[in-house]
Amino acid sequence: MLDIEDLTIWLPREVVELYQKEGIRELYPPQAEAVERGLLEGKNLLVSVPTAAGKTMLAELAMLKAALSGGRSLYIVPLRALASEKQAAFSRFADLGVKVGLSSGDMERKDEYLGRNQIIVATSEKADSLIRNGARWIRDLSVLVVDEIHLLDSTNRGPTLEMTITKLMRINPKMQVLGLSATVANAREVASWLSADLVESRWRPVELKEGVICDGILNFPGETVSIPSSRDDLVDLVKDTIGQGGQILIFESSRRNAEATAAKLARVVSKRKAGASQDQVQGEDGSRLFEKVLATGESETGKKLAECVRGGVAFHHAGLLSEQRAIVEKGFRSGEIKVIASTPTLAAGLNLPARRVLIRSYKRYEGARGMVAIPVMEYRQMAGRAGRPGLDPRGESFLMAKSEPEMKDLMDHYVHGEPEEIFSKLSMEPALRTHLLSTMATGFANDADELKKFVDSTFYAHQQDAWHLDATIEKVLEFLIDSRMIEDDLKPTPLGELVSRLYIDPLSARIVVDNLRSRETAKTTDLTLLHLITMTPDMDTLYIQASDGWVEEFIDQHYGEFCNEDNYDWMMREAKTAALLQDWIAESEEERIADRFRVGPGDIRRVAETAEWLMHSAGRLSEHLELGATYRIYQLEKRIHYGAGPDLLSLLDLKGVGRVRARKLHRAGYTSLDKLREAKAADIAEVVGPKIAEKVMAQLKERA
DNA sequence: CTTGCCCACATGTAGACAGCATGTC
DNA sequence: CTACATGTGGGCAAG
């Protein structure tokens, strides 16, 4: 037991008082262990404990210690949403004179300006990008916190995290490193890579009972409990939970299942409500949320969600708009929503605990491999959402089994099972393409020897045999040389430096450059350029479904406009994605796009966001190599940003004018800035309202 | 003739980071 | 390439 008061040995009194004011009297056991192991004496630590065991506070203590003695800390998280959540939380240190900055792709300030903060929160990619772009303050860090460091195991994003940590440790040799991890089998291995002490514990602030539900029986280790049964375990468990005044989080393996489950439960839950008299207020809550959801747009998804929240139930997946997700999350926190059926979005993301968690399917579709049982680590991630500290006496989580033998299997494998080891994915070719280039471009290595030394300091080299890595490195370097991004002696070319800073896959750059070079300008249309960026590995193309027969026709019709693509399956996906973007910049309504392409509104935004980034990068490449398409590409970039037709481009330069107002002005005859200049303020006000009109007039005057 | 049920068969499958430069309705 | 849950439409019997 360590009293919070004891922290005054290492920290100023005002820090301790801040926590005391928040009601904290003593440290949790794993926290105390971390402090004893030298958290506040600059020791590197890897803390591997369950969710909600107080990892964040440990990071806070270390960062405050540094901040109050003039040091700077970087806190790395895997998600943008998490970055804003942490930034908001750390902002309470303003009273101590500690400033907090946020840096992620969607919320950006000037990089150098960020250095004025003592704590900076960033996504791993952004942190990497800050290094690539040469932000100076990043060479002067006292503390590095890496949240969810077990993501080193992720194929997509693990290598970025790994390289970022490696680079930061190299340029800040004295920096304290604090890794925060879920429980994994080989935490010691990760710790040793970081030269860190390991703090490992299974302690939780709220008891968690894990079990398996089967035929109306809740099976816990050494104990079974039966609940009122109507032969539908899902409905029974939900009714039971709500009957106790609790909330439940249900994890599904597909969006469709999440939506179907939510719809089904909404019917059940609202029927219960209708029976109870004091629930008048609840009903009003429901209709308030109903309106709020509908206000975000009346897409199919939106309407379905609105219908569900009316009954106090919601679904949650990446097809939702971020506004819609926010409504669901907030509604659940406030208790207006009792049940969320979610895809894994919620498992990895925000802190949204519930009394009970139901994992309805522990299998997940993995393309060629069919349905695969999820790793224990992911199970823990989901189960760990059960139990709200201070609110629930305990949390309960359940897997769902259809038979006795399956129930026993699940007990063995998940409830009693140990999480897996994590493995570096750095030897994957796409990862190396990106990161070898940036290593050379940022001067972390200047020749083959230095590169070898650098690679030797990665987690991969620490953990695994290097022969596979060496072979891939060879291949990748050849590609980079052939693409003129590095010279024969591995020195970066200006093109290579540009690609590294743009943060795109070198292969994406290669595809863009090759196609722009070989293509005759006369045959280049908007569709050509849209297709071009969908061909790059940085674009996640849409799937082809049975109802997508039109795509083949679309390809035939516009044959000459497409870039060369040998693989017809890819071609279909690329063409479909390009078609979506074409609709988007033709000002087609979101609802219509969602319908035509069978995607959620959130997917549309994501495709557009990625496309905008890639179009910008294509523009920079065209500009740098003088490929002749620069102007057109930048215009397209702008159109993708706003989702607007070509005739609006000049109007969009005006602040306060987006796609909607620009179209209104255009329809009213104000088709250009000159036309607007000739008009009277009152007439413009007629179209866009007096306030905006005034703003517009002021800008016109300034420009003239 | 309608309704309800079972079966065979078709269908579709999680998530989300980055550049740049500041403000949509 | 490996599975699975869900939705759909036809066939059939009961009402």
Look up the CATH architecture of domain A207-415. Answer: 3-Layer(aba) Sandwich (3.40)
Residue with nearest Cα to nucleotide B11 C1': A546
Residues 214-233 of A with CB under 7 A from strand B: none
pLDDT at position A267: 83
The per-residue pLDDT of chain A, averaged, comes to 91
CA distance A325 to A372: 28
A464's tokens = 């695994």
Q: Quickly state the pLDDT bin for A277 (edges 50, 70, 90).
A: very low
What does the pLDDT look like over A430-460, one tens digit per residue?
999 999 999 999 999 999 999 999 999 999 9
Q: What is the pLDDT of residue A690?
A: 86
Residue A500 has what pLDDT? Answer: 96
Question: What is the pLDDT confidence band of residue A278, given thresholds at 50, 70 and 90?
Answer: very low
Per-residue pLDDT of A66-98, as tens digits, reads 999 999 999 999 999 999 999 999 999 999 999
- State whether the beta carbon of A80 lies below 7 angstroms from any atom of strand B: yes
Of residues 334 to 363 in chain A, which lie within 7 A of strand C by their beta carbon? 361, 363
> Could you tell me the fold of the domain covering A505-643?
Sec63 N-terminal domain-like fold (1.10.3380)
Q: Which CATH superfamily is A646-703 part of?
A: 5' to 3' exonuclease, C-terminal subdomain (1.10.150.20)
The topology under which CATH files domain A426-503 is Arc Repressor Mutant, subunit A (1.10.10)
Domain ranges, ordered by start, for chain A: 2-200, 207-415, 426-503, 505-643, 646-703
Any strand B atom closer than 7 Å to A576 CB: no
Torsion of CA A177, A178, A179, A181, to 10 degrees: 170
Q: Which of the two residues, A268 and A529, has the higher pLDDT score?
A: A529
User: CB count, 10 Å around CB of A256?
Assistant: 12
pLDDT exceeds cutoff 70 at A288: yes
Considering only residues A282 and A327, tell me which one the structure prediction assigns the higher pLDDT. A327
* Positions in chain B where some atom is under 7 Å from a protein CB: 10-25
User: In the structure, how far is the CA atom of residue A365 from the C1' atom of nucleotide C3, in angstroms?
Assistant: 8
CA dist., res. A526 & res. A637, Å (int): 11
Q: Which of residues 541-560 of A touch strand B (CB under 7 A)?
A: 543, 545-547
Answer whether any strand B atom is within 7 A of the Cβ of A85: no
Give the pair of three-digit tokens for residue A618.
Answer: 């294509």
**pLDDT of amino acid A110:** 66
Kindly state the percentage of chain A with pLDDT values over 70.
97
Nearest to A74 by CA among A63, A85, A84, A82: A63
What confidence tens digit (pLDDT) does each residue in A592-611 have? 999 899 999 999 999 999 99
Check whether residue A260 has its CB closer than 7 Å to nucleic acid strand C.
yes
Residue pLDDT, tens place only, A468-477: 889 999 999 9
Across the range A519-528, mean pLDDT stands at 88
Side by side, the strands of the sheet bearing A45-48 are A100-103, A119-123, A73-77, A143-146, A176-181, A45-48, A197-200
Q: Averaged over A658-665, what is the pLDDT?
A: 90
Residue A704's pLDDT is what? Answer: 66
Topology (CATH) of A2-200: Rossmann fold (3.40.50)
Is residue A276 over pLDDT 80?
no
Least confident of A150-159, A376-385, A671-680: A671-680
Strand B proximal to A658 Cβ, under 7 A? yes
Quote the pLDDT of residue A280: 43
Residue A427, both tokens: 């030897």
A318 CB contact with strand B at below 7 Å: yes
The predicted pLDDT at position A279 comes to: 44
Q: Which nucleotides of C are covered by protein (CB under 7 A)?
A: 1-7
Encode pLDDT of A187-215 as tens digits: 999 999 999 999 999 999 899 999 999 88
Burial class (CB in 10 A: 0-12, 13-18, 19+), A559: exposed
Q: Which nucleotide is nearest to A617 (CA to C1')?
A: B19
Distance A250 CA to C10 C1' (A): 35
The Cα diameter of chain A in Å comes to 83
Question: What does the pLDDT average to over A576-583?
Answer: 96
pLDDT at position A273 is 56
Q: Residue A233's pLDDT is what?
A: 84
Cα distance between residue A162 and residue A139, in whole Å = 17
Under the banding of pLDDT at 50, 70 and 90, the label for residue A104 is confident
Q: Is the pLDDT of residue A262 over 80?
A: yes
The pLDDT value recorded for residue A368 is: 77
DSSP string, A555-613: HHHTGGGSPP-S-HHHHHHHHHHHHHHHHHHTT--HHHHHHHHT--HHHHHHHHHHHHH
Give residue A281's pLDDT: 45
pLDDT of A374 strictly over 60: yes
Say yes or no: do domains A2-200 and A207-415 share a fold: yes
Query: Does strand C come within 7 Å of the CB of A235?
Result: no
Rounded to 10 degrees, the C-alpha dihedral A81/A85/A88/A90 comes to -130
Residue A270 pLDDT greater than 90, yes or no: no
Closest nucleotide to A360, Cα to C1': C5
Average of per-residue pLDDT across A95-116:
81
